[in-house]
Structure 1
Amino acid sequence: MSKQKRPLINREISWLYFNERVLQEAADKSVPLIERLRFLSIFSSNLDEFYRVRVPTLSRLADINAKAKEQLGYNPKKILKEIKEIVVKQERKFDDLYENDIIKELAEEKIFIINEHQLNVARGEFLRKYFREKLLSTLVPLMLSDDKPFPELKDRAIYFFVRLRKEGKEEKAKYSLVEIPVESLERFIVLPETNNLRFVILLDDIIRYCLNEIYFIFDYPTVEAYSIQLTRDAELEIDRTVSEKFIDTLTKSLQKRKKGKPMRLLYDNSIPHEMLKYLVDKLHLDADSLIPGNRYHNFKDFIAFPNIGRKELEYTKPAPLEVPDLDLSKSIFNQISGRDYLINLPYQSFDYIIHFLREAAIDPKVTEIHITLYRLAENSRVINALINAARNGKKVNCLIELKARFDEQNNIYWTNRLEEEGVFVNYGLLDYKVHSKICLITRIEKRRSVYYANLATGNFNEKSAKLYCDHSLFTTHQGIAKELKKLFRGLEKKVFYNDYKYLIVSPLETRRKIYALIDNEIRNQKDGKPAGMILKMNSLADEEMIEKIYEAGAAGVKVQMIIRGMCCLIPGVPGLSENIKVISIIDKYLEHARVWIFTNGGDEKVFLSSADFLTRNLDRRVEVSFPVLDPRVKEEIRDIISIQLKDNTKAREINRQNNNRYRKPGRGKRYRAQNDIYIYLKNKRQ
């Protein structure tokens, strides 16, 4: 590959462009109104995580010397400044959408989100009663003074910063903090309906309405409250020398996360200047950490905003489709022994995977189950099936990735639960996250071991399976299955094997094998043979991989990409990437599948994967990519990808201008991939 530095978009800036696409969905008037509120929630939740993970990394790099900056390829301080500018603009759009658009449209539906100033006597009495019975006992105001240390604010908790003062008096105002108990109580309270009008009030505004009952012992007639939210550095510091006590070490590190360095103070932009200055001084914040917002923070809670209006205000949730010729009332093992089957989530049911595990738990011929788990549902049916298998005498080997970000505590809980039930739990590897989504079941048939496998692009999580677009493959291909056995053996021994014939496994092989597949397309292009690539993933940021894709594009290979999130590659640069086209689909489901299609001279190669094209996925994680060998499954994936490439309703172009421009149908037919895929799969049953 050429050593010349190619043009790239900074990954943090590219991520903000992705979150802008989420904000576009909230602005899209064709999206049902309650769903638009939920997209605002997703935008807010995404931004919280960004400030907990990505910004702290930049902040740590901000003080490096000029030589290190040259090696890094960018100036972290400059990027932090650019992030602040973009985020402030996005927050303004967010506020305008919420206050001047969505609130008004809700009112047209006779749904009113009201605040403490809009209560009549009857509603006021209703809320005071609610406050005294449910809320008051949960509120513990902290009185602030210069002679006491400033309290340690929790990460992402919502606080009211309260000022008590007397009008026209020289007496110094008192300051206080009170945490809003959104973790223990519903954020939204539905008030009694009046004249066919429906009212919702936030917990925050009930507290505002009853502030005088919290501070009744003070003789201050004016009590003001302004919401603030502090986001802290959430990166974990784990002692790499610890092995046997890894869970204890991780648990202690999780406790430290709660007191990480402050990265962002989101504040009500109507807060008086002197109050903001007080906070900045006490929290030792710099200007880049200050983000003005509206009166409501932790907007992520709006994902649960109640629909008290028409059902049309939400997306309809079509019933999951059956997979043709795969009958849940019959043995899954018998059916998949004859051919491969593909489950397309969420269009088809996750119950097929649960049925596979449940059957394994009770089948007397099954002797062993191996599985990797990354993120699990709250009441996981996957875990229940594994426990039942162990109780029935099966040898169950479960690798739970304890370092799955923000799921660490949940995974520690499941680890303890499984071990109590006799499941052998592998805690994973200290220096590498195990991000693969694989399951292998060993069954004794005619005195020999026969393997049944499930390999997927998404987690074994029945909750996210209703929201994420993923592919899950059942296969009894013994070449693939035996390589999975080899991989699981390596994970147990904490060693990496290579030289897989069918699987492509990180961290040792993925980069090299993808380069070889791309080189093959370049050769075919030069030799006049059919050449091309279709690559679908969540994120593309690895510079060497981008360089390789640029090389293919410059050689004339047509490259089509579907990337939901970050894309640091710049399409359409003359002489470099004019043969590369990139779209991003943001719609009602989260596009999560990773699919690679290589033309291969006319004999297409199709792979599914757990890996994005990020450096961590290629070099620092255990990822599994796998070939699709069954012609029927290969055709189905190819059809689904073709439908997505036609999308001109929810697809945005990734281009040199970074303007997230929608692909428009013009006078042609309108295509919306997620609707069209459901129809395609529904028709296949007939």
Structure 2
Amino acid sequence: MTKAKLTEQTEQGIDLSDSRYYINREVSWLGFNERVLHEALDPRTPLLERLKFLAIYSSNLDEFFMVRISGVMEQAEAGVHPNTPDKTTPAKQLEIMRSHLIEQVRLQHQTFTQELLPALTEYGVYLQNYLDMTEEQTFYLRDYFEKRIFPVLTPLSVDPSHPFPRMSNLSLNLAVKVANPDTGIERFARVKVPSSLPRFVGMPEPLCTFQGEPCLWIGVPLEQVIAENLGYLFPGMTIVGHHLFRITRDADFPVLEDEADDLLIAIEKEINKRRLEGFVCRVEMASTMPDDLKESLMHELKVSSDRVYEVDGLLNLSDLFFFQSLPLPDLKDQPWVALVPPRLKPVVELDDDGNRSYSEHPPNIFAILRDGDILVHHPYESFGRSVQEFITQAANDPKVLAIKITLYRTSGDSPIVKALIAAAENRKQVVALVELKARFDEANNIEWAKKLEDAGVHVVYGIVGLKTHTKTTLVVREEGNEIRRYVHIGTGNYNPKTSKLYTDLGLFSCRDDLGADLTDLFNFLTGYSRQKAYRKLLVAPLTLRDRMTALIHREIEQAQNGGQGKIVAKMNSLVDYAMIKLLYEASQAGVEIDLIVRGICCLRPGIPGVSENIRVISVIGQFLEHSRIFCFDNGGQPEYYIGSADWMTRNLDRRVEAVVPIEDPALVKELQTILDIMLADNRQAWEMASDGTFTQRRPQAGENERGTHKTLMAYALRRDRVL
């Protein structure tokens, strides 16, 4: 709708429940992934990073089909029309999404084949076609096939005695047509491209040449090696043709927790079912596949043409992460080495000549926290030397009596899991609340949950009907004649690997009120406590929505009484209808609102009479923006909060979340600096228009680039030198 029409409507009275004021959630997500794709299209992005963003785009899209599009498909088939604020029917959503994706996927593959692959050759990197390899290289590939690939393959024929094979989710397959040379009868067979082998087969150093000259890397896709050696799999048969395809299955499964005697066993069963039994929601096919074979596949997979996406080129570009391993540092983002948070640096001593010496051991975190709270910002500041060190010290400190932690996602080889096991072995009371329903991490979580249980850790799986998404740790320590509680409350998972890629915040404290709140929260999670009131924490689904609503209403009252109402909120997604409607009311009252939303945003900013006081930006770049920060001006005495919750209905009503106020003035200043840097971004920030489209900010004439991530790196280095 045009601004003129909206202005005309405002004069006639505004109904904030009108669907025109809300953007469809799925359509908004597509816009987010399009911004990810743009990083691959942008020539300012280093070459190998452009390939990485192509891979991220594909990986994101896989998950979107498995969870979101498959769900909309089920709604459309069932004739269900959920009462979403935007009123877009499931059938219409599918139509919009398919139209968008056909064009975006075409652009993605075109960029890869026509721009990025040729650019790689300038640096001695050649991803070739098998048929273009030299005789010596082809001999090596044939030998590699015989020794490394052939023993792994299992061709599956399709005929009256062999039904169409069951295919696993995200599997890459060759549809092979073979003919009996004696009878001329043609048959279909499927050969799965093994995911256990490297996707790209590179040449050994003596054969690493192109047109007779040495090069850095040269190789071919694994599926081409298989395709050109199919004679080994079908001896005596004539290979008529072979064409690549890939399937995506619905991967969102329901678990009836109150009917499951053992939640862990129930989810293990569902994981196995998801891999093979979810319906096919997408089939990617090589554009060269003939119509008869395409129709046959569609029939066997039970899909209609609107679920088929033809691809001209390499399928499954998520495997392009491989190119990050090439030794070409100038073609990547400058690596960032996380700094030790200033107050957690090793102790410095000065000798008589003024020379500095550093302790070999990290300082005692508990002693430092008794002097005041600490705020850490990852990946600019080290996760290992803060969060990990906090838990490790607690595990080995003889004064620590208990450790309680919520684990939503972590790596299988996590030092944190090892520290918790060590703590249990040191006879401490250790409780780990493991969220088994963390989507796509269920199998990983089950594996290390069993290891924790075997070590004597008390493992619990949360509350029926609620996901436990909060990021909290409580350490109980005996100090003299008293018990003191230390806490960590964060915005990100206890995952050392993603802590290098995601931006997150964490608060360390030994304040009595926070320690008491976390004690109550863990009792709520592990026992039968019905605690509903907390001293400082905002806890979903109990108090978070009501408190956030009250804070926004306070800003509305400030503006209505002639003062300044102002809100700055940073989150991953903004979806909840009630929160959006309230933000519209705040804008109408004159409250100035800045929203930093990385992903889905169902709110429309800049609509006259509705949201003209709301601005929305999205920051996409080297790191994935994951931290949540909420600032309410409060008449010039701003209140800041950080935590695990976005403004989504699931976070506010169906998950256990914790949001904590930041009260130390120095830490408040740190949060304000982060928000100011992001709002001033003219390199990585995208500005949202009222029609839902985004425009990337660009430096004006004579203006320097101000990218959020580089600016925050420089800021961290300055603080490190000063402090």
Per the shorter chain, which TM-score range?
over 0.9
Between 608-617 and 172-181, the greater mean CA deviation after superposition:
172-181
Tell me which residue corresponds to 1:340: 373
Q: 1:186 aligns with which of 185, 191, 198?
A: 198
Could you tell me whether the CA contact under 8 Å between 2:255 and 2:267 is conserved in 1? yes
- Per the TM alignment, residue 684 of structure 1 is displaced from its structure 2 partner at its CA by 1.0
Could you tell me whether the CA contact under 8 Å between 1:208 and 1:225 is conserved in 2? yes
Distance 1:94 1:529 in 2: 49
Counterpart AA for 2:208: E
Does residue 233 (structure 1) correspond to residue 266 (structure 2)? The answer is no
Deviation digits for residues 60-99 of structure 1 (CA, Å, limit 9, x no counterpart)? 2114558766898221011111111111111111111111
Could you tell me whether the CA contact under 8 Å between 2:412 and 2:448 is conserved in 1? no
- Per the TM alignment, residue 682 of structure 1 is displaced from its structure 2 partner at its CA by 1.1
Distance 2:579 2:254 in 1: 29
Q: 1:173 aligns with which of 150, 171, 186?
A: 186
1:529-678 to structure 2, matched below 5 A, reads 529-667=563-701, 668-678=703-713
Distance 1:307 1:479 in 2: 47
- Per the TM alignment, residue 510 of structure 1 is displaced from its structure 2 partner at its CA by 1.4
Tell me which residue corresponds to 2:358: none
Tell me which residue corresponds to 1:203: 222
Distance 1:533 1:94 in 2: 37
Q: 2:546 aligns with which of 487, 508, 512?
A: 512
Could you tell me whether the CA contact under 8 Å between 2:503 and 2:623 is conserved in 1? yes
Distance 2:517 2:136 in 1: 69
Does residue 680 (structure 1) correspond to residue 715 (structure 2)? The answer is yes
Between 143-152 and 620-629, the greater mean CA deviation after superposition:
143-152
Counterpart AA for 2:201: I
Deviation digits for residues 94-144 of structure 1 (CA, Å, limit 9, x no counterpart)? 111111111111122221100212111011011111111111000111111
Distance 2:422 2:263 in 1: 27
Q: 1:35 aligns with which of 44, 49, 63?
A: 49
Counterpart AA for 2:411: A
Q: 1:85 aligns with which of 89, 99, 102?
A: 99
- Per the TM alignment, residue 445 of structure 1 is displaced from its structure 2 partner at its CA by 1.4
Q: 2:111 aligns with which of 94, 97, 109?
A: 97
Q: 1:375 aligns with which of 397, 405, 409?
A: 409
Counterpart AA for 2:236: I
Per the alignment, do residues 241 and 309 of structure 1 end up closer, same or farther by CA in structure 2, a change over 3 Å counting? closer
Counterpart AA for 2:170: R
Could you tell me whether the CA contact under 8 Å between 2:604 and 2:692 is conserved in 1? no
Could you tell me whether the CA contact under 8 Å between 2:554 and 2:634 is conserved in 1? yes
Q: 1:409 aligns with which of 443, 462, 465?
A: 443
Between 392-401 and 74-83, the greater mean CA deviation after superposition:
74-83
Could you tell me whether the CA contact under 8 Å between 1:533 and 1:560 is conserved in 2? yes
1:405-484 to structure 2, matched below 5 A, reads 405-484=439-518
- Per the TM alignment, residue 2 of structure 1 is displaced from its structure 2 partner at its CA by 6.4
Distance 1:524 1:72 in 2: 30
Counterpart AA for 1:303: F
- Per the TM alignment, residue 617 of structure 1 is displaced from its structure 2 partner at its CA by 0.4
Counterpart AA for 2:234: Y
Per the alignment, do residues 68 and 433 of structure 1 end up closer, same or farther by CA in structure 2, a change over 3 Å counting? closer
Deviation digits for residues 409-463 of structure 1 (CA, Å, limit 9, x no counterpart)? 1111111100110100111122100000000100111222111000100000000
Could you tell me whether the CA contact under 8 Å between 1:188 and 1:305 is conserved in 2? no
Tell me which residue corresponds to 2:349: none
Structure 1 residues without counterparts, runs of 5 or longer? none
Distance 1:70 1:572 in 2: 22
Tell me which residue corresponds to 2:6: none
Per the alignment, do residues 70 and 348 of structure 1 end up closer, same or farther by CA in structure 2, a change over 3 Å counting? closer
Counterpart AA for 2:677: I
Between 402-411 and 171-180, the greater mean CA deviation after superposition:
171-180
Q: 2:269 aligns with which of 252, 269, 274?
A: 252
Per the alignment, do residues 512 and 530 of structure 1 end up closer, same or farther by CA in structure 2, a change over 3 Å counting? same
Counterpart AA for 2:317: F
Distance 1:628 1:452 in 2: 16
Using structure 1 for the length normalisation, give the TM-score: 0.96
1:209-228 to structure 2, matched below 5 A, reads 209-218=228-237, 220=238, 222-228=239-245
Deviation digits for residues 185-225 of structure 1 (CA, Å, limit 9, x no counterpart)? 1112221322232312221121122222222231x1x4422
Distance 1:568 1:239 in 2: 30
SS across alignment from 2:178:
strand
Per the alignment, do residues 166 and 65 of structure 1 end up closer, same or farther by CA in structure 2, a change over 3 Å counting? closer
- Per the TM alignment, residue 495 of structure 1 is displaced from its structure 2 partner at its CA by 4.6
Structure 2 residues without counterparts, runs of 5 or longer? 1-13, 347-361
Could you tell me whether the CA contact under 8 Å between 2:473 and 2:489 is conserved in 1? yes
Distance 2:183 2:292 in 1: 16
- Per the TM alignment, residue 146 of structure 1 is displaced from its structure 2 partner at its CA by 4.6
Counterpart AA for 2:17: Q
Distance 2:279 2:17 in 1: 38
Could you tell me whether the CA contact under 8 Å between 1:269 and 1:292 is conserved in 2? yes
Counterpart AA for 1:239: L
SS across alignment from 1:60:
helix
Counterpart AA for 1:331: N
- Per the TM alignment, residue 22 of structure 1 is displaced from its structure 2 partner at its CA by 0.7
Q: 1:122 aligns with which of 136, 141, 147?
A: 136
Distance 2:313 2:259 in 1: 45
- Per the TM alignment, residue 500 of structure 1 is displaced from its structure 2 partner at its CA by 1.5
Does residue 11 (structure 1) correspond to residue 25 (structure 2)? The answer is yes
Distance 1:477 1:69 in 2: 44
Distance 2:85 2:662 in 1: 40
Using structure 2 for the length normalisation, give the TM-score: 0.92
Does residue 500 (structure 1) correspond to residue 534 (structure 2)? The answer is yes
Tell me which residue corresponds to 2:7: none
Distance 2:81 2:117 in 1: 51
Distance 2:610 2:718 in 1: 41
RMSD (Å) for aligned C-alpha atoms:
1.8
Distance 2:81 2:602 in 1: 23
Could you tell me whether the CA contact under 8 Å between 1:14 and 1:567 is conserved in 2? yes
Deviation digits for residues 286-325 of structure 1 (CA, Å, limit 9, x no counterpart)? 2221111234323222223254353211112122112112
Distance 2:539 2:162 in 1: 55
Could you tell me whether the CA contact under 8 Å between 2:75 and 2:81 is conserved in 1? no
Distance 2:84 2:545 in 1: 25
- Per the TM alignment, residue 375 of structure 1 is displaced from its structure 2 partner at its CA by 0.4
- Per the TM alignment, residue 171 of structure 1 is displaced from its structure 2 partner at its CA by 3.2
Tell me which residue corresponds to 2:355: none
Could you tell me whether the CA contact under 8 Å between 1:397 and 1:426 is conserved in 2? yes
Deviation digits for residues 479-520 of structure 1 (CA, Å, limit 9, x no counterpart)? 111101100011111554222231111012111111100000
SS across alignment from 1:601:
coil
- Per the TM alignment, residue 250 of structure 1 is displaced from its structure 2 partner at its CA by 1.1
Counterpart AA for 1:176: A
SS across alignment from 2:694:
coil
Does residue 73 (structure 1) correspond to residue 64 (structure 2)? The answer is no
Paired residues, number: 682
Tell me which residue corresponds to 2:8: none
Does residue 330 (structure 1) correspond to residue 356 (structure 2)? The answer is no
SS across alignment from 1:647:
coil
Could you tell me whether the CA contact under 8 Å between 2:430 and 2:457 is conserved in 1? yes
Counterpart AA for 2:188: Y
Distance 1:310 1:76 in 2: 46
Q: 1:291 aligns with which of 283, 299, 309?
A: 309
Could you tell me whether the CA contact under 8 Å between 1:522 and 1:552 is conserved in 2? yes
SS across alignment from 2:344:
coil
